[in-house]
Copies of this chain bind each other. A is one copy, B any other.
Amino acid sequence: MDFFDALVRYETSLWNHLDRRLGHAGAVSLATLTAVRVVDRYRGTCRVQELRADLGITVGAASKLVDRLERDGLALRRANPDDGRSSLIDLTPTGAEALADGVEALEDALDHQLGNEPDLMSVTDFLVRVDAKLHALTAEVAR
């Protein structure tokens, strides 16, 4: 229980802290930056599905998220040549700029916050490992 409490608590405070920092730096919100980073990661092959999976939200939420990215001029849907059911999502030049600026501000804030932590790598490995176990278990339960 202690671990769970510490995890939730720290994730929340770090998220809020970084979001405030981004705002102060004139960058997009951390939520928007996180979404834009996913779109960029898939380089022209990002569908609503990818956003759903990577962000841990529902398809409906992911669809509305893309609506907002389009509305704000950060991304655009384009027809998927391989599957008429889905669109592919690309960053606009404005979106690419917001990504670059946001990532720079985020890296600065993280470095300032965690640059001196020697155990960062091992804790990261732990988180990645237990997350993988969790997904294996969830897939198993779903059967």
Contacts and interface: CB of A to CB of B under 8 A. Distances in A.
A10 interface: yes
B9 A14 contact: no
Contacts of A14: 4, 7, 130-131, 134
A3 B113 contact: no
**Could you say which interface size class chain A belongs to?**
35 or more
Interface in A1-32: 1-4, 6-18
Interface in A33-65: 34, 54-56
A77 to B, nearest CB: 25
User: Copy number in this complex?
Assistant: 2
B110 A6 contact: no
A135 interface: yes
Interface stretch (A68-76, A92-100, A115-123): A115-123
Contact of A127 (B6, B17, B34, B56): B6
